[in-house]
Chain A
Amino acid sequence: MIRWVLLLLGGALLGGVVHLATVIILPRTATQDAYARLTPIAPVNTVVALPIPSPEKAIMPFMDPAFASAVCRYDLSEGPLKLTVPVSPAYTSVSFYTRYDVAYYAINDRAAGRRVIELDLMTAAQHEQVPEDEEITAADRLIVESPTPTGLIAIRAMAPEPGLMPVAQSAVAASRCMRQTEPARTRK
């Protein structure tokens, strides 16, 4: 009897280890996470507008139907990326996610303070290679460091009422994310 109780206790303890291990491993093995859902429709380093979510069809759960959204699935292994997002009249935000869908940075139109949100996305290693004087001369250049070489940029513009949706959609559709062929050198 005691033997079985001990085995039960041992099993339960081991169960705790299994639980923690599965929770930690799950994001790396998930086949239907946001990144995986977007991979078939979003080519690398290109802004792709996402359809407005509807009851029949939504690419991801819990999308806000009041927003026009677009994603840029990025890969920085070839070099840094330049992102430009024109702001829409109401509210525009750009959120950055790692390969495992963890949000690491976000900026909105007010924080950007101009008509266009412009920033450079690079890995920490690429940031180190940016010449220091470049950084000083281009003080208004916003540099975002990505913790992972791949990830997602979500560009979202709000339509405060349904009639303004086309305006929001055209704002996100005019966004660009592209690789800098000559990093930091061709720019003034």
Chain B
Amino acid sequence: MRLLTGTLFALAIATFVGLGMTYFALSRGAAFGALPIESWIAWPKTGTVDADPYARASIARAGRLPVALGDGVSFTVRSDDNGKFLDGRCDIVLSGITPAARFWTLTLYNNDGDLIANSINRYGFTSEEIVRRADGNFEIVVAPRANPGNWLPTGGIERYQLVLRLYDTAVGVSTKAGREVPMPAVSTRSCP
């Protein structure tokens, strides 16, 4: 009897710990080979055959197709430069420049990867659509209400993520986080 309860106890712990760790790892999107640049993060290796088992599992679980490395690299940001989660009720400003790429797109998703409905049917920007200043820098305001300039509507949702995809770029597996890869700064301007 003692043996039985002991075995059952150990197996229950194993199930709980094992599945819990798997769930946690996959919902956090953990994978090796992350390339963090300021508050942005990319996993260039996820778009190659060298994708590690964690990357493969989270791709399969999400049901998405990763951006292949020969195509581009996708950077995600979930919190501003001060570590505060991006809140759709606040005005968030992206400013600066992007790494060299032939094209880029910036898209707003909820945490499940769905686009957010809004009044002007704008889900993101492409590098061609953006209005830049004379020095080439741009400013994008991600906010629930209309703003002058480059306005990306949030639909007022609480949490979202921005995905910056660089197409036909030199940024990749061999890129080191540093000065040669400038990413736009992310700051919360005002919150109601």
Q: Which A residues form the contact surface with B (CB < 8 A)?
A: 3-4, 7-8, 10-24, 26-27, 30, 32-34, 36-37, 53-56, 58, 60-67, 90-91, 93, 95-97, 100-108, 110-111, 147, 152, 154, 156, 158-161
Contact B124 A66 (CB under 8 A): yes
A101 and B13 in contact (CB under 8 A), knowing A19-B18, A64-B105, A66-B105? no
The answer to whether B131 has its CB under 8 Å from any CB of chain A is no
Query: By the criterion CB–CB under 8 Å, are B165 and A3 in contact?
Result: no
* A15 and B21 contacting across the interface, CB-CB below 8 Å: yes
Structural contact, B13 and A11, CB atoms closer than 8 A = yes
Which positions 112-162 of chain B face chain A at CB distance < 8 Å?
112-117, 123-124, 126-129
Residues of A within 8 A of B21 (CB): 15-16, 19
Judged by a CB distance under 8 angstroms, whether B88 is at the interface is: no
Q: CA separation between A105 and B70, bound complex, in Å?
A: 7
Cβ of B128: which chain A residues have Cβ within 8 Å of it? 90, 160-161
Known: A3-B6, A11-B17, A65-B124. A91 touches B165 (CB 8 A): no
Known contacts A61-B113, A62-B62; A12/B167 CB under 8 A: no
Partner of B65, one of A20, A21, A154: A154
The smallest C-beta distance from B112 to any residue of chain A, in angstroms, reads: 6
What is the interface of chain B mostly: helix, strand, loop, or mixed? mixed
Chain A contacts for B34, CB-based, 8 A:
none
B49 lies within 8 A of A27 (CB): no
Within 8 A of A (CB), among B55-79: 56-57, 59-72
A100 and B123 contacting across the interface, CB-CB below 8 Å? no
Q: Do residues A91 and B103 form an inter-chain contact, with CB atoms below 8 A? A: yes
Residues on A with C-beta less than 8 A from B68 are 93, 95-97, 103-106
Cβ of B10 < 8 Å from any Cβ of A? yes
Contacts of A14 in B (CB 8 A): 10-11, 13-14, 17-18
CA distance A104 to B50 in the complex (A): 9
Residue in A13, A22, A61, A67 whose CB lies within 8 Å of B64: A61
Whether A95 lies near B112 (C-beta < 8 A) is: no
Residues of A within 8 A of B167 (CB): 91, 93, 108, 158
Pair A55/B10 contact, Cβ less than 8 Å: no
B184 at the A/B interface (Cβ < 8 Å)? no
Residue on A nearest B76 in the bound complex, by CB: A62
Q: Is the CB of A26 within 8 A of B70?
A: no
Q: Is the CB of B65 within 8 A of A34?
A: yes
Whether the pair A19, B49 counts as a contact (CB closer than 8 A) is: no
Bound Cα distance A27, B22 (Å): 13
Using an 8 Å CB-CB cutoff, how does the interface string of B26-49 with A read, 1 for contact, 0 for none?
100000000000000000000111
Listed A/B pairs (16) with beta-carbon separation below 8 Å: A7-B9, A7-B13, A8-B10, A11-B11, A14-B18, A15-B15, A15-B18, A16-B17, A18-B17, A26-B56, A27-B60, A55-B114, A103-B51, A103-B71, A110-B102, A154-B65
B12 at the interface (CB under 8 A from A): yes
Residue with the highest number of chain A CB atoms closer than 10 Å, among B15, B19, B57, B107: B57
Report A-chain residues with C-beta under 8 Å of the C-beta of B15. 15, 18
